[in-house]
Amino acid sequence: MKIIVTKDQKELAVEAWQVMRSVLLQKEDAVLGLATGSTPIGLYDEMVADHLKNGTSYRRVRAVNLDEYVGLSPQNDQSYRYFMKKHLFDRIDIDPESTFIEDGLATDAEAECRRYDAVLSRLPRDIQLLGIGANGHIAFNEPGTPFDLTTHVVDLTQNTIQMNARFFEKESDVPRRAFTMGPKSIMDAKKILLLAVGQNKAQAVAAAVQGPVTPDLPASILQRHPDCILIADEAAASLLKKDL
C-alpha cells in the first residue's frame, strides 16, 4: 500500500484530487466509486473547483456509490443520494442517469442487492474512494463481515449509529440498517483511494495498514489490493509505525 501523509485536511483534499485527476485524465468515461461522510467533502470541493475553473467534464463519467440507508428516499436530506447530489453531482456536469446508488426504498432487499451487484459488474470501477470508520469499517462493512460478501444489507453497530448521529436531529432518527457494497465488491475496483482524517481514526488506520488482515478489522483487507493508496493527515497517521 502506498502511503501519503499530509499536514492537514486541506492538503489531503489536494493530494486526493491529484489521484482522482490522473484517473480522469486517462479515461474520459472513467467509472468512479464514490463515498459519503465528512472525509471526502474536501476532495469533492476540489473536483468542483477544477470543473468550474478548468472545465474538466464528467459528461461521460459514471459514478457508483458505496452505500445507502434502508428506508430513506433520495429526497430525504440524510440519504446518501441527497448527499452526493449536494456535494458533487449537482455541481458538475455528470448525467444523473450515470450516477448509481442502492435504492433505500427498495421493498425486496435481496433483489436490490443482486440488482446492484449487476450494476457493479457492468461498470468495473477505475477507482474506489473510501473513508474509514473509527472501528475500521469500510463502507458499512462492520467488524466481523466476511471478506467474500458483495452487496448486502447490514444492521448498523451502536458505534456507527452514534458516529452518524451528528448528521441527524437525534440519535433515534438514524436508520438502523443500510445497503452496502461488500468487501469483495470494494476489492474488485482497479484502484483504491483510502482517505483518513483526524486523531479518532489513528488506531483504525494503524491496524488496517500494519495489523493482521482479518474480518475483525474490515479495512485490513486493503493490504491485499495491488493498487491501494492511503492518504492520511498527520493526526490519522500518528500511530503508524515508521520503521516497518
CB burial readout 82-107, b (16+ within 10 A) else e: bbbbebbbebbebeeebbbbbbbebe
Q: Is residue 145 at the binding interface for ligand F6R, with CB under 6 A as the rule?
A: no
Catalytic residue, candidates 142, 152, 164, 225: 142
* Sole window of 18-26, 33-41, 84-92, 102-110 interacting with ligand F6R (rule: CB under 6 A): 33-41
Tell me how far, at minimum, the Cβ of 110 lies from ligand F6R, in Å.
21
Catalytic residue, candidates 67, 68, 102, 126: 67
In this chain, which of 13, 32, 33, 37 binds ligand F6R, going by CB under 6 A? Answer: 37
**Closer CB to ligand F6R, residue 116 or residue 140?**
140
In this chain, which of 35, 84, 207, 221 binds ligand F6R, going by CB under 6 A? Answer: 35
Other CB atoms within 10 A of residue 158 CB: 8
- Residues within window 79-138 making contact with ligand F6R, judged by CB under 6 A: 131-133, 137-138
Q: Which three cell numbers stand for residue 16?
A: 486526493
In this chain, which of 36, 56, 150, 185 binds ligand F6R, going by CB under 6 A? Answer: 36
Q: Which three cell numbers stand for residue 107?
A: 421493498
Tell me how far CA of residue 21 lies from CA of 17, 27, 68, 89, in angstroms.
6, 10, 26, 16
**Closer CB to ligand F6R, residue 125 or residue 137?**
137
CB burial readout 167-206, b (16+ within 10 A) else e: eeeeeeebbeebbbbbbbbbbbbbbbbbbbbbeebbbbbb
Helices (H) and strands (E) in the chain, counts: 7, 10
* Sole window of 34-42, 46-54, 70-78, 235-243 interacting with ligand F6R (rule: CB under 6 A): 34-42
In this chain, which of 39, 79, 128, 145 binds ligand F6R, going by CB under 6 A? Answer: 39
**Catalytic (active site) residue 29:** no
**Catalytic (active site) residue 67:** yes
Q: Is residue 156 at the binding interface for ligand F6R, with CB under 6 A as the rule?
A: no
Q: Which of 93, 96, 98, 91 is nearest to 46 (CA)?
A: 91
Residues involved in catalysis: 67, 135, 137, 142
